Amino acid sequence: MKRPTEARARRLPARAGRGFGLILASYALAAALLALVPGPRDASADPAAATVTVLLVAGPIHYDFLLPADRTTRARFAFAEAAGVPVRHPGAAWIAVGWGARAFYTTAGTYADVTPGAVLKGLTGDLSVMHLALAGPLADPGTALHLALTPRQYARLLDAIAAGFAADADGAPIPLAAPGFGPTDAFFEARGRYDPINTCNAWIGQTLRAAGLAFGLWTPLPYSVRLSHWLWQAGG
Say if residues 75 and 93 touch (Cβ distance below 8 Å).
Answer: no
**Is 6 within the bounds of a domain?**
no
**Is 101 within the bounds of a domain?**
yes
Q: How many folded domains does the chain comprise?
A: 1
The amino acid at 200: C
**Is 42 within the bounds of a domain?**
yes
CA distance 23 to 175: 37
| Cα 215 to the center of its chain, rounded Å | 14
**Is 5 within the bounds of a domain?**
no
Range of the domain at 147: 12-232
**Is 1 within the bounds of a domain?**
no
CA distance 157 to 212: 8
Q: What confidence score (pLDDT) does residue 236 get?
A: 44
**Is 222 within the bounds of a domain?**
yes
Crossing angle between the packed helical segments 151-162 and 200-210, to the nearest 10 degrees: 140
Q: What is the pLDDT along the chain (236 residues), one digit of tens a residue?
A: 455 566 565 665 666 667 678 889 999 999 999 999 998 888 888 888 999 999 999 976 789 999 999 999 999 999 999 999 999 999 999 999 999 999 888 876 555 566 667 667 777 789 999 999 999 999 888 889 999 999 999 999 999 999 999 999 999 999 998 778 888 999 999 999 999 999 999 999 999 999 999 999 999 999 999 999 999 998 64
| Measured CA distances, 236 to 104, 109, 156 (Å) | 33, 32, 25
Dihedral over Cα of 13, 18, 22, 25: its sign: positive
Predicted TM-score of the model (pTM): 0.89
**Is 85 within the bounds of a domain?**
yes
Q: What confidence score (pLDDT) does residue 114 get?
A: 63
